[in-house]
């Protein structure tokens, strides 16, 4: 099925139901807005219903932003570190939106940066629970309906920290403290590839996308502080790349993409989160 481009009278994602994790702020909240602007009904999930103790943003604030687009929206409060609790997310989202999920964006991530030599097991388990097991569980939950329908899109938000270093080990500002986080994202990339291969003939597309440069969300600013402009990409650019994979053809599957490289490859213009063209 071919959908119109943004800015046309028909919304390209009209009739689709989407679920976005980690959507109380940052890339998740921005992605939810853009999906809603393109006509999708959207369920958002995170642990924070109304207020986070240290960070701005909440699910209720995200839903208020989505209300401006006039679709059907739902907030599902859940802790992705709890396997029993996250098993309720897809059923609750489907019930709230009135049908099975067509688009799953696994954006939520746990990022703890510290040297590996004394990295606690508890923290390692927490990061793999959120960054690997939760995306896999949610994917397994949405896949039966997608396969039956012969169509579906799963987008896993990855990270350049998954890449291997090589001598002379120019580690950058954070040094090797991203090792465990990167290992979890490398595992996510491998699962993306395997699922894409396994489902290649079903019409379900499974892809990952990582920022080429830092996206300065609220959490990123706390973790890495300020960066020079040449090391930063805009939230709109990252979201444009995610959106492209929420509406890609069936032959694009099982890949890990880089945001700005994907936009260049597809010659995609960048839009604001409300779907209007970004000037300049």
Query: How far is the C-alpha of 139 from the C-alpha of 172, rounded, in Å?
Result: 33
Model confidence over 120-152: pLDDT tens digits?
A: 999 999 999 999 999 999 999 999 999 999 999
CA pair distance 154, 146, nearest whole angstrom: 10
CA 94 to chain centre: 18
* Known catalytic residue at 181: yes
Q: What is the pLDDT along the chain (280 residues), one digit of tens a residue?
A: 343 444 444 699 999 999 999 999 999 999 999 999 999 999 999 998 887 666 778 999 999 999 999 999 999 999 999 999 999 999 999 999 999 999 999 999 999 999 999 999 999 999 999 999 999 999 999 999 999 999 999 999 999 999 999 999 888 878 899 999 999 999 999 999 999 999 999 999 999 999 999 896 665 555 556 656 656 799 999 999 999 999 999 999 999 999 999 999 999 999 999 999 987 5
* Distance of alpha carbon 1 from alpha carbon 78, whole angstroms: 33
pLDDT at residue 51 in the model: 72
How much is the pLDDT for 50?
84
Distance CA 18, CA 33 (A): 11
What pLDDT does 232 receive? Answer: 79
Contact yes or no for 157/210 (Cβ under 8 A) = yes
Domain ranges for the chain: 17-266
The pLDDT value recorded for residue 8 is 42
Rg from Cα positions in the chain: 18
Which listed residue (69, 128, 153, 181) is catalytic? 181
Instruction: Say what the pLDDT of residue 9 is.
Output: 45
The pLDDT of residue 231 is: 67
The CATH code of the domain at 17-266 is 3.40.50.720
pLDDT tens digits, 22-58: 999 999 999 999 999 999 999 999 998 887 666 778 9
Give pLDDT, residue 3: 38
- Residue 2 pLDDT: 40
Strands of the 152-157 sheet, one edge to the other:
73-77, 41-46, 17-21, 103-106, 152-157, 204-210, 256-258
| Element holding 19 (H helix, E strand) | strand 17-21
Using the structure block, give the residue that is written with the tokens 């300065």. Answer: 216
What is the pLDDT, as a whole number, of residue 175? 84
* 182-194 pLDDT, tens digit each: 999 999 999 999 9
């Amino acid at each position: 099925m071919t959908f119109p481009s943004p800015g046309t009278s028909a919304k390209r994602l009209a009739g689709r139901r989407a679920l976005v994790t980690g959507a109380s702020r940052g890339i998740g909240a921005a992605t939810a807005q853009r999906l809603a602007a393109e006509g999708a009904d959207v369920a958002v999930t995170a642990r924070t219903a109304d207020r986070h103790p240290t960070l701005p943003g909440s699910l209720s604030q995200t839903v208020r932003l989505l209300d401006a687009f006039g679709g059907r929206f739902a907030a599902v409060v859940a802790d992705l570190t709890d396997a029993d609790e996250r098993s309720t997310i897809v059923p609750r989202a489907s019930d709230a939106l009135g049908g099975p999920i067509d688009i799953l964006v696994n954006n939520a991530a746990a990022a703890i940066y510290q040297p590996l030599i004394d990295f606690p097991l508890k923290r390692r388990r927490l990061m793999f629970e959120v960054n690997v097991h939760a995306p896999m569980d949610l994917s397994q939950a949405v896949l039966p309906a997608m396969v039956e329908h012969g169509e579906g899109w799963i987008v896993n938000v990855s990270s350049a920290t998954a890449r291997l270093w090589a001598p002379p080990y120019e580690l950058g500002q954070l040094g090797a403290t991203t090792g465990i986080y990167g290992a979890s994202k490398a595992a996510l990339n491998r699962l993306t590839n395997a699922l894409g291969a396994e489902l290649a003939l079903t019409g379900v597309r499974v892809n990952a996308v990582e920022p080429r440069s830092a996206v300065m969300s609220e959490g990123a600013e706390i973790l890495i502080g300020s960066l020079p402009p040449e090391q930063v990409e805009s939230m709109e650019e990252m979201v444009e790349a995610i959106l492209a994979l929420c509406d890609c053809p069936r032959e694009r599957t099982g890949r890990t993409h880089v945001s700005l490289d994907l936009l260049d490859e597809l010659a995609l213009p960048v839009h604001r989160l409300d779907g209007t063209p970004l000037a300049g």
